[in-house]
Chain A
Amino acid sequence: MKRSIKLTLEPIVESSLIAERKMSREMGAVNYFSGIVREGEEGKTIKAINYEAFDKMVLHQFDLILNEIEERWPIESIRLVHRTGTVKVNESSLWIEVISPHRTEAFEACQWLIDEMKKRVPIWKHPIFTKVD
């Protein structure tokens, strides 16, 4: 399984990621997910989230998760980008692409990856709230 895991301070540009897509002729499903910063967090209005990451452990834990995915589903490729630093409302904080022969495994693997990330990948959110006058 091909894999690419990236942490970045730069905005996620979906069109560039899609333009870089590589897949073999046997593949029939590309599932991609984009996680977006919502305006509401903890019942309050925010303008951005500052993402803190323990970078080395993030990359290692994602690698372990992808190892498990490789054991469970016939996936050809996974690309994952997670933002760190300040991500404004409406911007993407997470982008994942899963390529597989059929849709079921692409959806399942993507969902499982996100579920596992939320249990064990050391990234934290620090909401930046909008000032109330």
Chain B
Amino acid sequence: MKQILIDIKVNFFSYFKDLTECESTVLHLPQGTNLDQALSVIRQQYPKMERMKRSTLAAVDLEYVAKNHILKAGEEISLFPPVQGG
């Protein structure tokens, strides 16, 4: 059976833009991929993100979600370091 792929946009903020050398990218992921699996794909694609593994905050659209959140077509992942407002 042919695997169905979905497009997921990934946005990078703060110095993650420097580590990845881009502001965003689009992943083509198998339907049913969760956030944690998507993060692994991102770390493979951008090895410099590996060392930020423990301090990466991840949001889907505008919400912080659990790592087992199943991604749906059209959703956007945003990745960034710890926040520093104020």
Contact = CB atoms under 8 A, between A and B. Distances in A.
B64 A120 contact: yes
Contact of B84 (A58, A61, A125): A125
B13 interface: yes
Given A52-B14, A124-B80, A35 B86 contact: yes
Interface in A89-123: 93-94, 114, 117-123
Nearest to A60: B62
Most buried by A among B13, B80, B84: B84
A94 B78 contact: no
A52 B62 contact: no
A117 B78 contact: no
Contacts of B86: 35, 93-94, 114, 117-118, 123
A56 B13 contact: no
A91 B83 CA distance: 20
Q: Could you say which of B57, B62, B81 has the most chain A C-beta atoms within 10 Å of its C-beta?
A: B62
Interface of A: 35, 52, 54, 56-58, 60-61, 82, 93-94, 114, 117-126
